[in-house]
Amino acid sequence: MHRINVKALGFAVALTVALVYAACIMAMAVTGPQTSISFFNSLMHGIDGSFIIRKTPMPVSETLMGIAEWFVIGWLMGASVAAIYNAGNRLRSPN
């Protein structure tokens, strides 16, 4: 069985999540509150998300902190998936 590199998958997932977060911020900045609310309501199966949409512009410091936080969360998720996959392979493998 193949082994997944824990650090590599962690980084790949982290970078993907951070880029999606940054794209979300850009989309919200370009489209405005009402379009953002409509878009995210459709993603959340019709749940009204208007109460969580920020009414004021997001400060750059919060934007950067959010990207960093999601990067860490993504890395932990990717690394966990790889570690669990590798552990499962060791349990199945007679080596």
Domain range list for the chain = 6-90
Give the per-residue pLDDT at 1.
65
Q: Is the pLDDT of residue 94 over 80?
A: no
Give the per-residue pLDDT at 57.
81
From residue 91, alpha-carbon distances to 51, 80, 82, 86, 95 in Å are: 47, 16, 14, 9, 9
Kindly report, residue by residue over 9-61, the tens digit of the pLDDT.
999 999 999 999 999 888 888 988 888 888 888 888 878 888 887 777 889 99
Q: Judge if pTM exceeds 0.75.
A: yes
Give the per-residue pLDDT at 76.
98
Give the per-residue pLDDT at 12.
97
Q: Is the pLDDT of residue 93 over 70?
A: no
